[in-house]
Amino acid sequence: MITKILLGLFSGVAFGFVIQRVGASDPNRMTRAHLMIDADIPRFMLAAVALSAAGLFGLQAVGVGRTMVLPTSLVATGLAAAIFGIGWGLCGYCPGTTWAAVGEGRLDAVFALAGGLAGAMVFAHLHERLIPLLYDPTNLGQLTVTGLVGNHALALAVVLVGLGAAIYLIGRIWHHDTPSE
Amino acid sequence: MEQQNSNKPRYWNWLPAAFALAGVIVFVFATYGPPASSSGFVSALKGAWSSLAPDYIASKAHYRMIPGPGSWLFAFILGMAIGGFIGGRTFKKPVTDIPPLWRRRFGDDATRRYTATFLGGFLILFASRLAGGCTLGLFISGSTQLALSGLYFGVVIFAFAMLTARLVYGNATKEVS
């Protein structure tokens, strides 16, 4: 148990440090990304996913690690993503970055974190009502690209090509202002 | 293209930073499982309420499915705050309480900014708990596992965030660099 806590703490410190250094915990930078005037944060996120997917493929090849695929609920996952996007676009923070930004000393992040606690508390209260209403009826199960194409290596290749194309297009389409202010 | 002021601290380039973050993510998959942040909020709440309202916490499914604060999940978000603190202390660029773009659009009223971030924080956590994860726990963790839920969530959050930012900031961005 204590090992798990220390591993969590260590992983969190490393994660928080990296996102601070790339500027993902800066809500101004995140907003610039959403306004398509800073291509670096979305490219950073998508490249991190691509590299992690390749790394996880390697881990699984040697039988290390644990995976857990969340189900796709057509309505709940989509509706939640829409609400999430509105909140993210409004404040420039996502759940993880609020903690790093509070650590940095950003006062507006303290309010985002408090709002997050309130939001989680309200959802937890309504869980029994909302999950059967929104999540369960269109729950398609733990779908993966691997399941669709029938082969893990091929699925990885498909996802990497998709992410690579998205990274390329973001680099082409987003304006390139001077970053960071 | 480059900043004219060379004293200005630079953020890390996105590609090496992506390698660094992917290293952390793969480490987490190897030593724990899929990384997540929004669950840690529930852990924190569970810890805070367990002593005040133990019967309520025990009666709610959402608190039963997430471990309390003595867990990897809570340690991870606490670690993120420490990582952000270390990063911030060793970085020359001063942090802002009101981001420049927001200030340009809505002025110096701190209450307005804090109300907006409280509301934004509320929405992202409410939504994350409905979907089962956030940017990290669903989009990044899920897509790393090639899960459709993660890819679907990722496309929609970016689309709505970009749309919302356009509506909130309008064209005030044109002259801001």
ipTM: 0.96
| Secondary structure of residue A139 in the 3-state scheme | strand
Average pLDDT over residues B32-37: 98
Instruction: State pTM to two decimals.
Output: 0.95
Average pLDDT over residues A153-166: 98
Confidence label for B42 from pLDDT (cuts 50, 70 and 90): very high
One-letter amino acid of B22: A
Average pLDDT over residues B75-101: 96
| Minimum-distance CB partner of A100 among B62, B83, B166 | B83
Q: Measure the CA–CA gap between B133 and B153, rounded to whole angstroms.
A: 9
| Secondary structure of residue B70 in the 3-state scheme | coil
**Beta-carbon contacts of residue A115 (< 8 Å; ≥ 6 apart):** B117, B118, B119, B120, B121, B122, B123, B125
Instruction: Indicate which of B13, B21, B173 best probes the interface with A, i.e. most A CBs within 10 Å of its own CB.
Output: B21
Q: Measured on CA atoms in the order A143, A147, A152, A154, is the torsion positive or negative? A: negative
Q: Measure the CA–CA gap between B10 and B22, rounded to whole angstroms.
A: 21
Kindly determine whether residue A48 and residue B140, on different chains, have CB atoms separated by under 8 Å: yes
Instruction: For residue range B14-30, list pLDDT tens digits in order.
Output: 999 999 999 999 999 99
Q: Is B26 on the interface with A (CB under 8 A)?
A: yes
B118 CB neighbours in chain A (<8 A) are: 111-112, 114-115, 118
| Minimum-distance CB partner of B22 among A7, A48, A142 | A48
> Helical H runs in A23-151?
27-34, 40-61, 74-91, 95-104, 107-130, 145-149
- pLDDT score of B1 more than 50: no
